Amino acid sequence: MMVMSEIVRILKSSKKVLIVTHISPDGDGIGSTLALLHGLNKLGIEGDIVIDDDVPGDFRFLPKSDKILKYSPEIENHYDAAVAIDCSDEGRMGRAEELYSKVPVKINVDHHISNTMYADYNVVDSNSGACAELVYQLIKLLGVEFDNRIATCLYCSLATDTGRFMYGNTTSITHEVAADLLNNGADLRKISEEIFEKKTLSQVLLICEALKTLRVVEDGSIAYIVVTKAMLEKCGAKPSDTEGLVYYPRCIDGVEIGLLFKEEDGRIKVSFRSKALDVSKVAAVFGGGGHVLASGCFVEAPMEEAIERVVRACADAIKGGR
C-alpha cells in the first residue's frame, strides 16, 4: 500500500505524534493505540494517546495504559502528526477531535465499512478483523522489532474485536498475525484472565438486571435488552460494564438482529448485532455506523421512543432483505 509508506515517512520525521481512538474505547482501540505508541517510542519518537473517555478496567493491565491521557482542553497541541485508530468518522473521537483537527498532518487507520475517509492519509480496510492487523503492518514497515509488550497489545485487539477468533471478520491473515504475535511473546494467559475470564460482581449483577428486560419482538426476529442509569447505579456498575451484553439478545435462535439500548446523558446509545443483515446501514439511518454485523448509534429521544424507532427500522431492514 503506497499510503502506508507515506505514513511511515511522516511518522519517522515527526518528533511528537498524537494518537486517538473512539469514545467508549474497546480492546481494539486501546490495544492498537498502545502498540503504536510502543513502536514509536522504540524509534525515539514521542507520542500521546488522548481519549475522551476513561480506559475500561479490563485493559489497565496493558503496558503503558497508565500513560493514556483523558481529554482535557488544557492538553497542549504540539504534535507534528496525528493518527486516529478505529474511528469511522471524526465524531467518534468525541472532544479529542478538537486536538486531532488542528494537527498539521492527519492519518486515519480503520477497518469500518462506514469510514468517511476524513484524513490526509487514510488506511481503511474493512476486510481486517481488527485495526490491529493494520497497525501490525505499520509497525513492521516502521522497522520496529516486535517485543512482548507490542505483541500483547496487538493480540488483545485481535482477540476482542474478533470475539476470540470466532466472528466472520476472522481471516487467515488474522490467524497469521496472531501466530506471529504469540511468537513474539504475546501474553495469552494474562489477556484471557484479565479480559475474558474475570468479571466484577457489579458486572455479573448487571447481566442479571439486563436480562430481566429482554424482549423478543417481530415474530422472533428482533430481540433487545435495556440498561438504564438506575440499573447501573443499583449494580454499582460503570457505563463500560455493558460491554458484551448485546451478545444475549443476538444469540437467541431465530433472532436476526439483537439490540442493546443504553441510557447515556439524556440520549440513548444503541448497539446493533446481526447474524447476516447489514446493520451498519440501519445504524446510519440514525447518524451512526460501524461494521456489517456490529454497529451503533445514538438516538436523541426518550427510551420508549428510541426503542420504537430503532425496532421499526430493523423490522423494515429485515423485510427489505428478504
Which of Mn ion, ligand 5GP, none does 28 bind, CB closer than 5 to 8 A by kind? Answer: Mn ion
Cβ count near 267 (within 10 Å): 14
Of these, 14, 33, 65, 114, which contacts ligand 5GP (CB under 6 A)?
Answer: 114
**With respect to ligand 5GP, which residue has the nearer C-beta, 40 or 93?**
93
Site pattern 247..286 for ligand 5GP (x: CB under 6 A): ------------------------x---------------
CB of 78 to Mn ion, least distance (A): 28
**Closest residue (Cβ) to ligand 5GP?**
296
Element (H or E) spanning 310, and its range? helix 303-321
Instruction: Choose among Mn ion, ligand 5GP, none what residue 39 binds, the Cβ cut-off being 5 to 8 Å by kind.
Output: none
Contacts with 178 (C-beta within 8 Å, 6 or more apart), sequence order: 155, 158, 159, 165, 186
Which residue from 145, 91, 55 is spatially nearest to 284, judged by alpha carbons? 91
Question: Minimum distance from CB of 91 to Mn ion (Å)?
Answer: 16
Burial degree of 116 (CB within 10 A; 0-12, 13-18, 19+):
middle
Diameter over CA atoms, the chain: 59
Bridge-based pairing of strands 257-264 and 267-274 is antiparallel
Residue 281, CA distances (Å) to 37, 41, 59, 296, 304 in order: 33, 39, 30, 10, 22
How buried is residue 20: exposed, middle or buried, by Cβ count under 10 Å (0-12/13-18/19+)? buried
Minimum CB distance to ligand 5GP, residue 50 (Å): 18
Which of 90, 155, 93, 92 is closest to 129 using CA atoms? 155
Residue nearer to ligand 5GP on the CB measure, 65 or 295: 295
115 binds ligand 5GP (CB under 6 A): no
Q: State the Cα–Cα distance between residues 174 and 153, nearest whole angstrom.
A: 15
Report the distance separating Cα 3 and Cα 207, nearest Å: 44
Q: How far is the CB of 115 from ligand 5GP (least distance, A)?
A: 9
Residue 105 or 259 having the CB closest to ligand 5GP: 259
162-167: list long-range contacts, CB under 8 Å, 24+ apart.
Answer: 162/129, 162/130, 164/196, 167/129, 167/293, 167/294
Which of Mn ion, ligand 5GP, none has residue 262 at its interface (CB below 5 to 8 Å by kind)? none
Which residues in the 4-33 window bind Mn ion by CB under 5 A? 28
Q: Which of 161, 187, 241, 263 binds Mn ion (CB under 5 A)?
A: 161
**How many beta carbons lie within 10 A of that of residue 142, not counting itself?**
18
76 or 265: CB nearest ligand 5GP:
265
Cβ proximity to ligand 5GP: between 142 and 257 the closer is 257
State yes or no: residue 289 binds ligand 5GP (CB under 6 A): yes
Q: Which does 157 bind (CB under 5 to 8 A by kind): ligand 5GP, Mn ion, none?
A: none
The option from ligand 5GP, Mn ion, none interacting with 288 (CB < 5 to 8 A, set by class) reads ligand 5GP
Check if the beta carbon of residue 27 is closer than 8 Å to that of residue 192: no
Choose, by CB under 5 A, the member of 86, 97, 133, 187 that binds Mn ion.
86
CB of 165 to Mn ion, least distance (A): 14
- Binding stretches for ligand 5GP (CB under 6 A): 22, 24, 88-89, 92, 112, 114, 271, 288-291, 294-298
